[in-house]
Amino acid sequence: MYITKKHLSRRAVLKGMGVTIALPLLDAMVPAGRAQAATAAGTLRFLAIEMVHGSAGATAIGAEKNLWSPAATGRDFDLTPSSLRPLEAYRDYLTIVSNTDVRNAEAFTPPEIGGDHFRSAAVFLTQAHPYQTQGSDIRAGTSIDQVIAQQIGRETPIPSMQLCIENVDQAGGCFYGYSCAYTDSISWKSPTEPLPMVRDPRMVFDQLFGVGATPEARAARRRRDRSILDWVSGSVNRMKADLGASDRLRLTSYLDDVREIEQRIQRVEAFNSSGEQRELPEAPIGVPDSYAEHVTLMLDLQALAFTSDITRVGAFKMSRDVSNRVFREAGVSTGFHIASHHQEREDRIVEFAKINTWHVGLLPHLLDRLKDTPDGDGSVLDNTVILYGSPMGNPNVHNHKRCPLFLAGHAGGRLKGHVHHAAAPETPMANVMLSVAQMFGVESDSFGDSNGTFELNQPADTTTSA
């Protein structure tokens, strides 16, 4: 660790044998005479989350029943009938934008017809139309997470993180003439460079905490069945001796979180190597068979990365197009992709909405963690923008209209929250993304197929909307 006579460096770390643990923001990191709020000012974070297969609310029946977004725009909206009802406790942080379109996910030429599932992921955060190819000459656009990372990513050890849940190990061509690179990544560093998404929580944990220089070293450390905290205990004790009481409590709580997540990963690895039958036999040893457990673990790792300022930018792909995974916890026994092709039947649309609601219901866990983590004069959630949505609208007909989209967080006061905006017909989702990018200091007047910005803070009149 590095300590000046005035204060503890924001880049202070705990080091042990092959382990580096970054620290949360502590009072001791505030220079003499400065408020912690000033130290944290401008420390914004961004996380984009994609869920595939659109929403039940994008159908005519779903819009009538408000199965995705609430009926009223403005601030006096009721989430009860919608798939966003699990976010009720966070309505003050919630900015809902309904009815935006993702036109660049549509087929532009006859050979592209039918390939919506296999290009949509590449469009979501780029809002650019992919070049149809199964070769290496892939081309889409730079994704919003990477646009933001180019602005703020150089300030952190890891410019951005890319996480996923489903298998992304396929190579070559998928279907309808599209490379699997389009299907497997939502994060594009440049129009020709998709970034790999990491599925294994162990790989993420080791990346965050610098555990071992090689895969062999990391494996050897795990075989010793010791926590990474064992290797930095001396540094922890020396640091605590120089900290005030509140900082000691904050550091202890943070390290407890690190250890708890590490133990969960160890339990998953122990079960997956025990010889017991797995639901996902092809998955890496660190991947839980439980979807909810896997998502929660990855969200916790992302929260740790934000808290310790290892990164300020993330992209999380929660599923893969045409995945037929069964989400029994949602009360649905039909596979995800099959459920999304509901044939416009009301009973099946309502069943599909249960899956949408259950997926959204996994997010409050992350919101709780970020809200409970102090950051300046607020919380990490106060200084974060989480963008959740899908590039597809009604999956039964593979259209890309009235796509689901909401934002959570206050972006350091730049995003007020507690509002539902119904976009005018044919408004590009790219308009919303351009406005978000500008909150992070990106100096651009265009993104994807945007035709302007989107006013996210102006209170809308209370009306009924589709």
pLDDT at 16: 77
101 beta partners:
428
Instruction: Work out the pLDDT band at 463, boundaries 50, 70, 90.
Output: very low
Tokens of 152: 């703020």
- pLDDT digits over 165-180, tens only? 998 755 556 889 999 9
- pLDDT digits over 3-20, tens only? 333 467 777 888 876 788
Q: Which of 373, 245, 215, 357 is nearest to 309 (CA)?
A: 373
Q: Say how far apart CA 369 and CA 386 lie, in whole Å.
A: 13
Instruction: Work out the pLDDT band at 459, boundaries 50, 70, 90.
Output: low
Instruction: Work out the pLDDT band at 235, boundaries 50, 70, 90.
Output: confident
Contacts of 418 (CB under 8 A, 6+ apart): 75, 91, 92, 93, 94, 95
pLDDT at 3: 39
DSSP 389: E
DSSP 423: P
DSSP 284: -
Q: Say how far apart CA 104 and CA 102 lie, in whole Å.
A: 6
- pLDDT digits over 177-205, tens only? 999 999 999 999 999 999 999 999 999 99
Q: Which of 191, 194, 161, 190 is nearest to 180 (CA)?
A: 194
- pLDDT digits over 70-129, tens only? 999 999 999 999 999 999 999 999 999 999 999 999 999 999 999 999 999 999 999 999
- pLDDT digits over 427-447, tens only? 999 999 999 999 999 999 999
Measured in Å, how far apart are the chain's first and last C-alpha atoms?
A: 55
Q: Say how far apart CA 299 and CA 362 lie, in whole Å.
A: 9
pLDDT at 1: 42
Q: Say how far apart CA 1 and CA 29 lie, in whole Å.
A: 12
Tokens of 393: 């609208």
Contacts of 219 (CB under 8 A, 6+ apart): 212
Q: Which domains does the chain have, with CATH numbers?
A: 1-34+205-286 (no CATH), 42-199+299-466 (3.40.720)
DSSP letters, 196-234, are PPB--HHHHHHHHHT--SSHHHHHHHHHTT--GGGGSHH
- E strand or H helix at 16: strand 13-16
With beta carbons less than 8 A apart as the criterion, state whether 73 and 460 touch: yes
With beta carbons less than 8 A apart as the criterion, state whether 153 and 311 touch: yes
- Looking at every residue in the chain, the average pLDDT score rounds to 90
- pLDDT digits over 392-412, tens only? 999 999 999 999 999 999 999
Q: Can you tell me the mean pLDDT for 264-282?
A: 93
CA torsion sign for 122, 128, 134, 138 is negative
Contacts of 10 (CB under 8 A, 6+ apart): 25, 29, 39, 309
Q: What percent of the chain has pLDDT over 90?
A: 77
Contacts of 108 (CB under 8 A, 6+ apart): 129
Neighbours of 408 (CB within 10 A): 26
179 beta partners:
173
Q: Which of 83, 85, 166 is nearest to 349 (CA)?
A: 83
Neighbours of 438 (CB within 10 A): 15
- How far, CA to CA in Å, does 107 sit from each of 19, 154, 398, 400, 402? 48, 36, 10, 10, 17
pLDDT at 141 over 50: yes
DSSP letters, 370-382, are HHTSEETTEETGG
Q: Say how far apart CA 409 and CA 377 lie, in whole Å.
A: 15
Q: Say how far apart CA 44 and CA 38 lie, in whole Å.
A: 13
Q: Which of 66, 27, 52 is nearest to 121 (CA)?
A: 52
pLDDT at 461: 52
pLDDT at 34 over 60: no
DSSP letters, 156-199, are SSSS-EEEESS-----SB-STT-BHHHHH-S-EEETTEEPPPB-
